[in-house]
Amino acid sequence: MLWFCFFRPAIAGEGGIGDLLRFWGGEAVYNSHDRDPEMGPIIAAIGRPAIVEAEIPIAWCGGDRGLRLAMNIGQRFVVAQGTPSRNSSHVEDNIKQHLPGAFIRQVHVHPSPEFMRLAGCADWYRPLQSGRRSSNLA
């Protein structure tokens, strides 16, 4: 499963995306082994923090075939017309199928300027560390 946010990642802040970028993806989000004194450093050394810009077909999203995302797009239109909404306009969703390479627009790797802008991580309490990651791991 691939998880996407359909908004600039910096909006989620360190609490929303920090562990996802520090460790090895979603596993850090729903488990606590990243905080283990032995396993944490090993997990943190895998890969490099990256933000992937991709085109995601709405129909591929979630179990609702994109209904949640489509409703969000409708909500954004209504808000743009001047109707206030109490619902967040920031939506996340997932796909459970292979995403062809042609759908990938760009990959921004830490500490590139575009990565720093998109993640908004320059002032995080716990800065991201790219130097300690193995260069031969993706």
Segment 19-72, tens digit of pLDDT: 888 876 555 555 677 778 887 787 777 788 899 999 998 888 877 767 877 888
CA dihedral 61, 55, 57, 11 (to 10 degrees): 40
- Mean pLDDT is lowest, of 66-70, 90-94, 126-130, for 66-70
The per-residue pLDDT for 101 is 96
Tokens 């995080």, located at residue: 124
Longest dimension (CA), the chain: 53
**For residue 135, pLDDT beyond 50:** no
Round to whole Å and give the CA distance between 85 and 12: 19
Domain boundaries along the sequence of the chain = 2-119
Round to whole Å and give the CA distance between 111 and 20: 15
Q: How many CB atoms lie within 10 A of CB 54?
A: 16
Question: Could you give the angle at the alpha carbon of 43 between the alpha carbons of 111 and 115, nearest 5°?
Answer: 15
